């Protein structure tokens, strides 16, 4: 409480003007209950009731906190159900990572390289994961990124909490449908990866698809460090892998010629290939089915048959499927649905190269 | 004002005018005090107070040992009470008017005495009231009102004492005082040049400094000067 003492010098409608004992002037308000108007020359004491700011701030801060809690509950209606459940990484050249919750709502989308960031910034992303994938594929086609030979769309699905049974085939289906809609053709690679591999990829600043390919190349001795893949696209890495496989095949052929092409030797080289593939799978758990298909094509060639198409490969799916099931991480690789099937990388080239591009 | 009062009592209308003008703030203040509400010049009570004051000039007798201001207060008080009684009577007509008038005259006498005692107790001294009214008149010439002086008053003790000293020094500078009284403005440039005070300080407390100079120039305002003693 603050007290002002003084002599009344004037009374206005709003104030009582006091000449204080210190010789300064002070305007004080009229008392709330106007018992009387003081006389000029009368001694007057005014008591200033201090506003209790502390209680104001106390209640004010509580009110503000409550307001923010209510606001937050409106902004995040699932109350933290912005919980990550899936991570889908799409690599064409633009690398994009999509994080979805258990309801398959995209809660985060990030471009992992410059092209990816550009692509995302040009899109008004929808909510659902499948719609977003479709949007990305369509935009990639529009940018003409599938107009090249051996176009590849590598996709990785990492599950954090949920079962992937429904998600994986649906993701592949969405990509296929989107490509079909846009009259584009590309090789689709879909892999289910575990969270550890994703974390490793994150640490090396590579997208998970790149990282997996890099690990394979490193295991087969093509590259020794990340410098070896610097500036190369995923398709380039695939080419490097194929090149290595060709070299391996040439070595096998040489060995076979030296041994006069006996079936025994062929079996040995086949076994060597198989062993190599097994080692590679153990390293990365990837590309198993693709390599198996390559070996089958080689077998067919040895028998004097034409190379197998995708349909034929699919026909032998149970055999591959069994092998895939044995591996903890599996990979599916096949050309776009309605296009004429392209031979796998390590098989002999098709007699008619026009078949590669399909009916488009 | 004593001179004006004598002249007005002798029939000098100009002196009466001056007197009324000088005591106008007092009249309105007394009217508000008696009626217990703020009174402006558009209210009927203000006219009653003015008429009572005018009558006080005519009927004041110094020989009866009363101060003029106390006498004026008494008349204003009585007239306002009469006014309210009259209003009340008109609203509720009494059957026995003669009895009422007798009762009223008796009770009004008692009330008058009571209110006079109260007035004398409340007001510290009639001299102080006179001095405040005279200061108010003096400040009007400089277009200064009491209510705006708060903004020009110093907040800290050091600056307050410095301003007291400053005003006393300026009041001694005849040239500065002459310019102040002539132009009715504080000659800041001259003061800062002659006495060496900061222009910024003078500008910030301009109206308060003028008030202090006026107080210093009127040593007869003894009661008011008590408030600006430098040792306080």
Mean of pLDDT values over A327-343? 43
What is the predicted pLDDT for the residue at B143? 92
The answer, yes or no, to whether residue A295 has pLDDT greater than 60, is no
Q: Which of A182-186, A250-254, A284-288, B6-10 has the lowest mean pLDDT?
A: A284-288
Give residue A181's pLDDT band: very low, low, confident or very high (50, 70, 90). confident
How does DSSP classify residue A41? T
Among A19, A24, A34, the residue with its CB nearest the CB of B160 is A24
Among A11, A22, A24, the residue with its CB nearest the CB of B29 is A11
Cβ separation A24–B164 shorter than 8 A: no
CA A48 to chain B, closest CA, distance in angstroms equals 16
Of residues B48 and A291, more confidence is placed in B48
C-beta of residue B80 within 8 angstroms of C-beta of residue B72: no
CA pair distance A158, B137, nearest whole angstrom: 91
Select from B120, B140, B160 the last residue of a domain: B140
The answer, yes or no, to whether residue A172 has pLDDT greater than 50, is yes
Of residues A72 and B217, more confidence is placed in B217
Say yes or no: B11 and B47 in one domain.
Answer: yes
What is the Cα A232 distance to its own chain's centre?
A: 20
Number of domains observed in the structure of chain B: 2
Mean of pLDDT values over A226-235? 75
B146 near A CB under 8 A: yes
Give residue A270's pLDDT band: very low, low, confident or very high (50, 70, 90). low
Say yes or no: B63 and B99 in one domain.
Answer: yes
Backbone angles phi, psi at A37, to 5 degrees: -90, 125
Cβ separation B147–A17 shorter than 8 A: yes
The CB density around residue A53, as the number of other CB atoms within 10 Å, is: 9
What is the predicted pLDDT for the residue at B142? 92
CA pair distance B151, B157, nearest whole angstrom: 15
B89, containing H or E segment:
helix B68-91
The answer, yes or no, to whether residue A266 has pLDDT greater than 80, is no
The answer, yes or no, to whether residue A328 has pLDDT greater than 50, is no
Say yes or no: B175 and B121 in one domain.
Answer: no
B24 near A CB under 8 A: no
Say yes or no: B115 and B189 in one domain.
Answer: no
Among A10, A37, A43, the residue with its CB nearest the CB of B147 is A10
What is the predicted pLDDT for the residue at A225? 77
Among B38, B123, B160, the residue with its CB nearest the CB of A22 is B160
**Residue listed under structure tokens 């940018």:** A143
CA pair distance B146, B144, nearest whole angstrom: 7
Q: At CB < 8 A and 24+ separation, what contacts does A294-300 make?
A: A294/A245, A294/A344, A294/A345, A294/A346, A294/A347, A295/A270, A297/A343, A297/A344, A297/A346, A297/A347, A297/A348, A298/A249, A298/A270, A298/A273, A298/A346, A298/A347, A298/A348, A299/A270
Chain B residues lying within 8 Å of A13, measured CB to CB: 38, 40
C-beta of residue A237 within 8 angstroms of C-beta of residue A305: no
Mean of pLDDT values over A197-223? 83
Chain B residues lying within 8 Å of A5, measured CB to CB: none
The answer, yes or no, to whether residue A349 has pLDDT greater than 50, is no
Q: At what angle do helices A195-203 and A208-219 cross, to 10 degrees?
A: 90
Q: Best interface-test mutation with A: which of B149, B159, B161, B208 has the largest number of A CBs within 10 A?
A: B149
Select from B108, B140, B172 the last residue of a domain: B140
Mean of pLDDT values over A272-290? 47
Chain A residues lying within 8 Å of B124, measured CB to CB: 7, 41-43
Of residues B97 and A142, more confidence is placed in A142
pLDDT digits (tens, 9 = 90+) for A192-209: 888 888 888 888 888 888
What is the Cα B202 distance to its own chain's centre?
A: 27
What is the predicted pLDDT for the residue at A91? 86
Say yes or no: B109 and B165 in one domain.
Answer: no
Say yes or no: B107 and B187 in one domain.
Answer: no
Say yes or no: B135 and B176 in one domain.
Answer: no
Average pLDDT value for chain A: 70
Say yes or no: B109 and B29 in one domain.
Answer: yes
The answer, yes or no, to whether residue A285 has pLDDT greater than 80, is no
Mean of pLDDT values over A296-308? 44
Cβ separation B147–A15 shorter than 8 A: yes
The answer, yes or no, to whether residue A261 has pLDDT greater than 70, is no
**Residue listed under structure tokens 């005519």:** B58
What is the predicted pLDDT for the residue at B211? 92
Say yes or no: B6 and B95 in one domain.
Answer: yes
Write down the ipTM of this complex: 0.85
Q: What is the pTM of this model?
A: 0.47
**Residue listed under structure tokens 């008796």:** B106
**Residues spanned by the domain of B80:** 2-140
Write b or e for each residue in A112-149: b if 16 or more Cβ atoms lie within 10 A of its Cβ, otherwise e: bbebbeebbeeeeeeeebbebbbbbbbbbbebebbeee
CA pair distance B153, A23, nearest whole angstrom: 9
Cβ separation A40–B37 shorter than 8 A: no
From the number of C-beta atoms within 10 Å of its C-beta (0-12, 13-18, 19+), residue B150 rates as: middle
Q: At what angle do helices A114-121 and A129-142 cross, to 10 degrees?
A: 110
CA pair distance A41, B144, nearest whole angstrom: 19
Chain A residues lying within 8 Å of B145, measured CB to CB: 10
B37 near A CB under 8 A: yes
Residues from A in contact with B at Cβ < 8 Å: 7, 9-13, 15, 17, 19-27, 30, 34-43
Chain A residues lying within 8 Å of B122, measured CB to CB: 38-39, 42
Cβ separation A25–B154 shorter than 8 A: no
Could you tell me the CA-to-CA distances from A330 to A98, A281, B53, B70 in Å, in that order? 21, 9, 112, 111
The tokens for A353 are 């190269």
Say yes or no: B106 and B183 in one domain.
Answer: no
Backbone angles phi, psi at B196, to 5 degrees: 85, 20
Cβ separation A17–B228 shorter than 8 A: no
Cβ separation A10–B25 shorter than 8 A: yes
Say yes or no: B67 and B102 in one domain.
Answer: yes
Chain A, nearest residue to B147 by Cα: A17
Say yes or no: B80 and B193 in one domain.
Answer: no
**Residue listed under structure tokens 């599950």:** A159
C-beta of residue A160 within 8 angstroms of C-beta of residue A87: yes
C-beta of residue B148 within 8 angstroms of C-beta of residue B140: no
Select from B100, B125, B140 the last residue of a domain: B140
Helix boundaries (H) for chain A: 53-75, 114-121, 129-142, 167-181, 195-203, 208-219, 234-258, 263-284, 288-302, 310-315, 317-326
What is the predicted pLDDT for the residue at A77? 53
CA pair distance B32, B142, nearest whole angstrom: 27
Q: List, in sequence order, every residue forming a beta bridge with A111; answer none if it has no partner.
A: A96
pLDDT tens track, chain B, 232 positions: 777 888 888 888 888 998 899 999 999 998 988 888 888 889 888 999 999 999 998 888 878 877 888 888 889 988 888 888 888 777 665 555 544 555 555 556 666 666 666 666 666 677 888 899 999 999 999 999 999 999 999 988 888 888 888 888 898 888 889 989 998 888 988 888 888 888 888 888 999 999 999 999 998 888 888 888 755 4
Pairing of strands A15-20, A25-29: antiparallel
């Amino acid at each position: 409480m603050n007290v002002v003492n003084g002599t009344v010098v004037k009374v206005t409608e709003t104030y009582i003007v006091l000449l204080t004992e210190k010789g300064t002037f002070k305007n004080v308000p009229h008392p709330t209950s106007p018992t009387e108007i003081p006389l000029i020359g009368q001694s007057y004491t005014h008591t200033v009731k201090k506003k209790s700011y502390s209680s104001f701030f106390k209640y004010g801060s509580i009110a503000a906190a409550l307001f923010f809690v209510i606001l937050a509950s409106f902004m995040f209606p699932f109350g933290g159900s912005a919980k990550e459940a899936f991570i889908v990484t799409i690599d064409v050249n633009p690398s994009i990572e999509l994080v979805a919750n258990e309801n398959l709502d995209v809660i985060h989308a990030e471009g992992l390289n410059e092209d990816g960031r550009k692509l995302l910034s040009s899109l008004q992303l929808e909510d659902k994961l499948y719609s977003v994938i479709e949007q990305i594929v369509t935009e990639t086609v529009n940018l003409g990124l599938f107009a090249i030979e051996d176009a590849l769309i590598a996709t990785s699905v990492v599950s954090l909490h949920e079962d992937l049974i429904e998600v994986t085939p649906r993701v592949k289906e969405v990509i296929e449908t989107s490509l079909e809609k846009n009259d584009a053709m590309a090789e689709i690679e879909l892999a289910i990866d575990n969270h550890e591999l994703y974390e490793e990829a994150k640490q090396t600043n590579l997208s998970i698809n790149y990282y997996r390919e890099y690990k394979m190349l490193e295991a087969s001795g093509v590259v020794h460090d990340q410098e070896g893949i610097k500036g190369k696209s995923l398709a380039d890495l695939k080419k490097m892998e194929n090149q290595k496989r060709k070299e391996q095949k040439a070595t096998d052929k040489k060995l076979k010629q030296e041994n006069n092409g006996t079936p025994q030797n062929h079996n040995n080289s086949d076994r060597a290939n198989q062993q190599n593939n097994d080692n590679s799978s153990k390293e990365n758990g990837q590309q198993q089915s693709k390599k198996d298909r390559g070996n089958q094509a080689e077998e067919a060639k040895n028998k004097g048959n034409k190379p197998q198409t995708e349909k034929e490969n699919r026909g032998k799916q149970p055999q591959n499927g069994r092998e895939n099931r044995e591996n903890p991480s599996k990979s599916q690789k096949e050309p776009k649905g309605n296009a004429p099937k392209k031979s796998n990388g390590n098989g002999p080239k098709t007699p008619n190269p026009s078949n590669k591009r399909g009916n488009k | 004002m004593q001179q004006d009062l004598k002249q007005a009592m002798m029939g000098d209308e100009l002196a009466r005018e001056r007197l009324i003008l000088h005591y106008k703030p007092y009249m309105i203040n007394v009217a508000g005090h008696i009626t217990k509400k703020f009174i402006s010049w558009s209210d009927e009570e203000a006219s009653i107070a003015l008429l009572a004051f005018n009558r006080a000039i005519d009927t004041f007798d110094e020989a009866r040992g009363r101060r003029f201001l106390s006498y004026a207060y008494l008349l204003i008080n009585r007239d306002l009470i009469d006014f309210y009684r009259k209003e009340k009577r008109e609203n509720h007509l009494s059957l026995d008017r003669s009895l009422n008038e007798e009762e009223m005259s008796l009770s009004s006498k008692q009330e008058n005495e009571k209110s006079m005692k109260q007035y004398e107790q409340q007001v510290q001294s009639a001299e102080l009231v006179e001095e405040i009214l005279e200061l108010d008149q003096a400040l009007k010439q400089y277009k200064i009102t009491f209510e705006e002086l708060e903004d020009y008053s110093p907040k800290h003790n050091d600056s307050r004492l410095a301003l007291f000293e400053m005003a006393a020094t300026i009041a001694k500078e005849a040239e500065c005082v002459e310019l102040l009284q002539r132009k009715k403005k504080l000659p800041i440039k001259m003061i800062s040049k002659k006495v060496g005070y900061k222009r910024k300080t003078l500008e910030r407390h301009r109206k308060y400094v003028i008030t202090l100079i006026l107080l210093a120039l009127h040593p007869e305002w003894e009661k008011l000067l008590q408030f600006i003693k430098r040792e306080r």
